[in-house]
Amino acid sequence: MTALRAILTRALMTAITLFGVAVIVFVVIRVAPGDPIAMMLPPGASDDDIAHLRALYGLDKSIVQQFFIWLGNVLQGDFGTSISIRQPVSRIVLNRLPATLELSLLAMTIAVLFGGALAFFATRFRETPAETGVDIINGIALSVPDFLWGLALILLLGVAWPVFEISGRISPSLDPQFSTQFYLLESILRLRLDVTLDLLDHMLMPALALALPLAAVIAQLLKVSLKETMNQDYVMLARTKGFSESHVISHDAFRNALLPTLTLTGIQLTFLIGGTVIIERLFSYEGLGNLAIDAVINRDLPLIQGIVLLFAILFVGINLAVDLLYTVLNPRLRHG
Amino acid sequence: MSEHARHRRPVSWRLILSGSWLAIVIICAVFAPYIAPHDPLAQDLLLERLPPFWVSGAEPGYYLGTDGLGRDVLSRIIYGARIALTVAFVAATAACLIGSTMGLVAGYFRGWLDQIVSRIVDIWMSFPPVLFSILLVAVIGTGLHSVIIAITAIDWIRFCRVVRAETLVQTRMDYIDSARAAGFSRLNILVREVFPNALPTIVALLSLEMGIAVIVEAILSFVNLSISTDDPTWGGMIAEGRTIIHFAWWVLVFPLIALFLTVLAFSQFGEGLRDRFDPVLR
């Protein structure tokens, strides 16, 4: 019964959060300077024309009525039409979302691998200068945000020692003619490895920039839990059985050190996705974030609304998933 | 750690190094007109894209070279420190005051107040912060004021979350019960007992937030939404440097180093202060 209650409370809070998000997005966009009607009409339009158009777009109604009409449309998946691209916002946004998701997941994978390796290394050589070294690397990776890592990478691996492409998602000469926008996934499934390599050539640097701060968080947390676990009885037992230190860490300690790290990694995933906005801009990567900045610069209000809402839904969804995952995975809470 | 142990502990290298760099940046910002070798706005098309002093083709007096319009890179970095630090101090302090107050109140009084504050924090956490700040600045208009307002409006929740959590922990401790039994009022306990104990965390976070504010200002300048493009900002220089990176790497490299060290220094300084003044560690 208590579990059901907890889930219902969580669902209610999520609903309140989403409603609040909708209100904020609506309010911020409405206070934006500039009359949208004035922008649509040619100069010299009569007052009648203006009134007619205002009525057509529902702008003659009260602000509260306008909000609920807008919210109703949004709930039906109708985000309006983009002013600058002249296509339905939902179509544009869903077209760009896969690029951002692929970049985020690649970054996440890199972060987990890097962070895990660092934590393993620091635990294996704990209380030696190697651990101090890892701590210093962590401290720097953690304090410097993705934007600066991106710039540093462009300089190092893009210009000084040009290994990777510094802009775009895919080489313009390469037209994969894929049926989805999940280029990376589809290229792997179709075994078009030339496309995969080209995509990675473009994606690795932005992904690395996004991954570094998160890798540091993972390394730090995992290291702390690993070191704690290393003093537990069952780890001692495994050691007395004659297993090597590396084997003990990777087989016995890792499994139990994972849960706290996993939860925090989930929460950090939203920070990583938030970081794609500026990183995509920096690398001219054609994802949602880059589109969002264009939309802001072009004052394309319907498009901005759509993108911000999509990000918000994504974030709320991730936070909810993390909560649920934690409840499912934590043996102490499972029977609570 | 005993009192004895603390006396033996010298000021950490972390504090010395980060504090020194911050002192240099502050001096540059305050005395920019006396330090900068050139007018940061003076353009000279005959001197465009001069390399730094150790590269052949450099012009004496332009130590770190010039940008695409012939403006002195070093002077622009020195003047850029003014805007970076103004944003850092004003925005971070404002965010700290608002967020800490909300966090203290929510964590201490709990109940419906806490519910409301927590829901607002949830809603704020649902937006990507960079996109949120870009959107806010676009709505309220560009300029230094807008940048500061946007950063404050977004980042107060960082303080609110941490201070609320800290306050929740503090109020469960025994000394609060003792204070209550001794007849202190709720407000008195909040101000005299809970707040001082949350202070090391707040100070560390404040320093960290100054670094974040510097970055956000740079990002906004980078997407051309901060202050006017002529004024020297590190982000604006980086944006220009990014476009001519293959011809004049120094236009990007030097402001990037300044930004890198400043952000690193702010966060390390905060951590150093927390280690030193944390009452639990002490």
The ipTM of this complex is: 0.88
A18 contact residues in B (CB cutoff 8 A): 126
Position A336 scores a pLDDT of 40
Highest mean pLDDT among A195-204, A218-227, B191-200: A195-204
Q: Distance from A307 to chain B by nearest Cα, in Å?
A: 10
- A38: contact with B, CB 8 A cutoff: no
Inspect the interface and report whether the beta carbons of B218 and A147 lie closer than 8 Å: yes
CA-to-CA dists, residue B159 to B27, B90, B91, B201, angstroms: 28, 15, 13, 9
Q: Cα separation of A208 and A195, whole Å?
A: 20
Q: What is the mean pLDDT of residues A167-177?
A: 84
Position B229 scores a pLDDT of 65
- B235: contact with A, CB 8 A cutoff: no
Q: What is the mean pLDDT of residues A128-145?
A: 88
Q: Cα separation of A256 and A252, whole Å?
A: 7
Inspect the interface and report whether the beta carbons of B120 and A20 lie closer than 8 Å: yes
Inspect the interface and report whether the beta carbons of B126 and A140 lie closer than 8 Å: no
Position B230 scores a pLDDT of 72
Query: What's the mean per-residue pLDDT of chain A?
Result: 84
Q: Cα separation of B163 and B105, whole Å?
A: 9
Tell me the pLDDT of chain B (282 aa) as tens digits.
444 444 555 678 889 999 999 999 999 999 999 998 888 888 888 888 888 888 887 778 888 888 888 889 999 999 999 999 999 999 999 999 999 999 999 988 888 999 999 999 999 999 999 999 988 888 888 888 999 999 999 999 999 999 998 888 888 877 777 887 888 887 788 888 888 888 888 998 999 999 999 999 999 989 888 776 678 899 999 988 888 888 888 999 999 999 999 999 999 999 888 887 765 544
Q: Distance from A264 to chain B by nearest Cα, in Å?
A: 15
Chains A, B: CB pairs < 8 Å = 125
Q: Cα separation of A264 and A322, whole Å?
A: 9
What percent of chain A has pLDDT above 70? 92
Report whether pLDDT(A106) > 90.
yes
Q: Distance from B23 to chain A by nearest Cα, in Å?
A: 19
Query: Which residue, among A195, A201, A200, has the nearest Cα to A162 in the 3D structure?
Result: A201
Burial classification of residue B53, based on how many CB atoms lie within 10 Å of its CB (0-12 exposed, 13-18 middle, 19 or more buried): middle
Inspect the interface and report whether the beta carbons of A289 and B122 lie closer than 8 Å: no
Inspect the interface and report whether the beta carbons of A17 and B122 lie closer than 8 Å: yes
Please write down the long-range contacts of B178-181, taking CB distance under 8 Å and 24 or more positions apart. none
Inspect the interface and report whether the beta carbons of B245 and A312 lie closer than 8 Å: no
Nearest CA in chain B to A289: B131
Structure tokens at B188: 């008195």
Q: Distance from B100 to chain A by nearest Cα, in Å?
A: 22
Q: Which residues pair with B72 in a beta bridge?
A: B66
Report whether pLDDT(A32) > 70.
no
Position A332 scores a pLDDT of 61
Q: What is the mean pLDDT of residues A24-29?
A: 84
- B186: contact with A, CB 8 A cutoff: no
Q: Cα separation of A272 and A20, whole Å?
A: 23
Q: Distance from B187 to chain A by nearest Cα, in Å?
A: 30
**With bands split at pLDDT 50, 70 and 90, how would you rate the model's confidence at A160?**
confident
Indicate the residue of A144, A276, A315 with minimum beta-carbon distance to B126: A315
- B167: contact with A, CB 8 A cutoff: no
Position A269 scores a pLDDT of 86
pLDDT tens digits, one per residue of A241-251: 878 878 877 77
Indicate the residue of B119, B223, B264 with minimum beta-carbon distance to A144: B264
Inspect the interface and report whether the beta carbons of A140 and B264 lie closer than 8 Å: yes
- A9: contact with B, CB 8 A cutoff: no
Query: Which residue, among A215, A219, A224, has the nearest Cα to A144 in the 3D structure?
Result: A215
Residue B276 amino acid letter: R
- A282: contact with B, CB 8 A cutoff: yes
A29 contact residues in B (CB cutoff 8 A): 139
What percent of chain A has pLDDT above 90? 30
Q: Cα separation of A185 and A195, whole Å?
A: 10
* Domain topology for B13-29+66-277: MetI-like fold (1.10.3720)
A280 contact residues in B (CB cutoff 8 A): none
- A202: contact with B, CB 8 A cutoff: no
Inspect the interface and report whether the beta carbons of A144 and B263 lie closer than 8 Å: yes
Q: Domain residue spans in chain B?
A: 13-29+66-277
Q: Do A229 and A169 form a contact (C-beta atoms < 8 A)?
A: no
